[in-house]
């Protein structure tokens, strides 16, 4: 196999993996937000935390959308769009969704060979793109969405696996 073709195939695989996961990651917080808004005490749920030093539910949902942007844009050599902080979580999710939907496979040209330099908490890291995507960015999407889900479950909301991933089907 010719190297240029292999690099192009790897770049396309990174595009499809990153954008599919990121698109789902901004859809699920929107679904959970719908469930929260239709609950008896939405503000209580949005401000609930699993532990005092953790983000509240709204923060976990916002961070999920932020990681959706962080899992795609660094692979394109473009900075992830930074939305002005707003209490309008739904607007932030919509912005993230539209930014991710606007990415093309061409934006990922060279991604498989590009080092990704980024901050992870207080750690400054440089990782190859596949490692960055599969071992840092995508797990963080799941972590923050899981924390929001766990907060809702801990507050007695009847959310299940279908609400978390959008794929499972169960009768309630």
Domain ranges of the chain: 3-163
- Fold observed for domain 3-163: 1.20.120
Nearest Cα to Cα of residue 33 among 101, 100, 97, 102: 97
62 and 85 Cβ atoms separated by less than 8 Å: no
- The model carries a pTM of 0.86
pLDDT, tens digit only, all 172 positions of the chain: 445 544 788 899 999 999 999 999 888 888 899 999 999 999 999 999 999 999 999 999 999 998 899 889 999 977 777 655 556 888 888 888 999 999 999 999 999 888 999 888 899 999 999 999 999 999 999 999 999 999 999 999 888 776 776 667 777 6
What angle separates helix 57-70 from helix 3-37, to the nearest 10 degrees?
160
């Amino acid at each position: 196999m010719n190297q240029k073709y292999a690099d192009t195939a790897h770049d396309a695989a990174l595009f499809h993996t990153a954008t599919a996961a990121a698109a789902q990651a901004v859809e699920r917080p929107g679904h959970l937000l719908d469930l929260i808004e239709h609950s008896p005490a939405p503000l209580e749920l949005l401000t609930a935390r699993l532990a005092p030093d953790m983000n509240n539910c709204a923060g976990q949902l916002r961070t999920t959308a932020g990681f959706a942007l962080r899992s795609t844009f660094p692979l394109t050599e473009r900075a992830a769009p930074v939305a002005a902080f707003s209490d309008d979580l739904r607007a932030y999710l919509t912005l993230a969704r539209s930014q991710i939907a606007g990415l093309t496979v061409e934006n990922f040209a060279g991604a498989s060979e590009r080092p990704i330099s980024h901050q992870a908490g207080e750690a400054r890291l440089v990782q190859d793109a596949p490692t960055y995507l599969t071992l840092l960015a995508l797990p963080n999407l799941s972590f923050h969405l899981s924390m929001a889900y766990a907060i809702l479950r801990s507050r007695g909301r009847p959310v299940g696996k279908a609400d978390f991933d959008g794929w499972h089907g169960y009768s309630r």
